[in-house]
Amino acid sequence: MNATLCADCPDTVVITMPALMPYRAGDELTCSSDGYPAPTYSWTVNQSPGSSTSTQVLAEGDHVYICTATVTFDDGRTCIETDSRTVTAYSKYRKQYNTLQTILMFTTLFVG
Which residue in 74, 71, 90 sits closest to 33, CA to CA? 71
Domains observed in the chain: 13-111 (2.60.40)
* % of the chain at pLDDT higher than 90: 70
Instruction: Give the per-residue pLDDT at 8.
Output: 85
- Residue 92 phi, psi (nearest 5): -55, -40
Instruction: Give the per-residue pLDDT at 110.
Output: 74
Return d(Cα 69, Cα 17) in angstroms, integer.
Answer: 17
Per-residue pLDDT of 66-85, as tens digits, reads 999 999 999 999 999 999 99
Return d(Cα 4, Cα 97) in angstroms, integer.
Answer: 56
Q: Which of 1-15, 26-40, 65-79, 89-103 has the lowest mean pLDDT?
A: 89-103
